[in-house]
Amino acid sequence: MLNFDEDRYLRIQSGAVGLADRIHAEVERALDDGAENLFFLGSGGAGILMEPAARLLQERSTFPVHHVMPAELVVRGSVHLGPQSLVVVPSLSGTTTESVEALRWCRERGARVITLTGFIGVPLADEADVNLVNEAADDTSCESFYLQALLVALSLMHLRDEYNGYAETLAQLTTLPALLLEAKRAFEPRAAEYAASIRDEPFHIITGAGATWPQAFYYGMCILEEMQWIRTRPVHASDFFHGTLELVEAGVSVILLKGEDASRPLVERVEKFAPGYTEKVCVLDSADVDLPGVPQEVRSLVSQVVLAALLERISAHLEVLRDHPLTTRRYYKRVAY
């Protein structure tokens, strides 16, 4: 595979799953200490990657869960956050200004803060009540954060008797890193072809629903826009027909991310519409990926993880074809803002 270290990938994703016992212990400790709600906080892409876990809990648990932007929490506040709150803050670098400020704000109000970082010795690691570290980089952090957040949600539901088969699900997740690697390998030829087909596209519409919507949002904002400087319109599939459809015409690139949860028909509706008006429609479907030994219930929980793995392969080819490294920035962490 192009510019890809297989051993490193396995180590990082296995490291994410390997945090299961520590995550479970920390969630159990918080509940034993009287936690009454959970906040997922994260800036930019890291925050977006918490959404599938937050939505899973909101739909399947009665435990109050909030998914809030850190900067907005600090300036607006929340009557729900206090000593009874468990807060989870992800940040790959561990230095994100808005997240550091939110961590301090939450701790000042007595909340217990767990941070998920890719490094030690950084503010979010040093100042948290608990820091869980899984070494990663931009090209591997997506799956890692998805998995860590999912483990938080599964632990919480398991401890509250709201999820059956916790041990079995963990065993299946343990096999996922190797399966994701095989999925990447199988997708490599298609990734190269698709990157070649979109290398000169000036604009994309990217859409998803359910657990794939955060991945559509993340890939559009953090990869195509931030890392490739390509104008992109991420839009939830349920909102596609409330405005964005008017931008679909011949020559417009539309990217659809299909998952395997109950929201799949929302993306299929766009899939039926778009090809009638543009010849540039790409559909990435997690159901096309072979995951032997993983039951449908678990597949529905990890569709976004699978799609993140495939999209990384497109990105790897795209940066080479466009001679635009994914690490190149004009403003992000380069100028004051």
Tell me the per-residue pLDDT of 252-301, one tens digit each, with 9 for 90 and over. Answer: 999 999 999 999 999 999 999 999 999 999 999 999 999 999 999 999 99
Q: Burial of 175 by CB count in 10 Å (0-12 exposed, 13-18 middle, 19+ buried)?
A: middle
Look at residue 138 and tell me whether its pLDDT is greater than 90: no
| Residue ranges covered by each domain of the chain | 6-163, 174-321
- Across the range 116-139, mean pLDDT stands at 96
Q: Burial of 34 by CB count in 10 Å (0-12 exposed, 13-18 middle, 19+ buried)?
A: exposed
Could you list the beta-strand ranges (E) of 1-101: 37-41, 65-68, 85-91
Fold type of domain 174-321:
Rossmann fold (3.40.50)
Look at residue 304 and tell me whether its pLDDT is greater than 90: yes
Structure confidence at residue 181 (pLDDT): 98
Structure confidence at residue 189 (pLDDT): 98
Look at residue 80 and tell me whether its pLDDT is greater than 90: yes
**Same fold: 6-163 with 174-321:** yes
- This model's pTM is above 0.85: yes
Look at residue 33 and tell me whether its pLDDT is greater than 90: yes
Backbone angles phi, psi at 87, to 5 degrees: -120, 130
Structure confidence at residue 337 (pLDDT): 85
Q: Please, are residues 307 and 259 in contact by the beta-carbon 8 Å criterion? A: yes
- Across the range 25-37, mean pLDDT stands at 98
Indicate the SS3 state at residue 259: coil
Q: Which of 111-115, 228-232, 329-333 has the lowest mean pLDDT?
A: 329-333
pLDDT band at 137 (very low <50, low <70, confident <90, very high): confident
- Residue 95's Cβ-side half-sphere holds a number of Cα atoms within 13 Å equal to 6
Beta 203-208 vs 253-258: how paired, if at all?
A: parallel
pLDDT band at 307 (very low <50, low <70, confident <90, very high): very high
Look at residue 333 and tell me whether its pLDDT is greater than 90: no
Distances (CA, A) of 283 to 124, 270, 275: 37, 10, 11
Mean pLDDT score of the chain: 97
Look at residue 83 and tell me whether its pLDDT is greater than 90: yes
Structure confidence at residue 120 (pLDDT): 96
- Across the range 102-124, mean pLDDT stands at 98
Least Cα distance to 290 among 174, 182, 172 occurs for: 182
> What would the CATH number be for the domain defined by 6-163?
3.40.50.10490
Least Cα distance to 305 among 321, 326, 289 occurs for: 289
Q: What is the DSSP letter of 258?
A: E
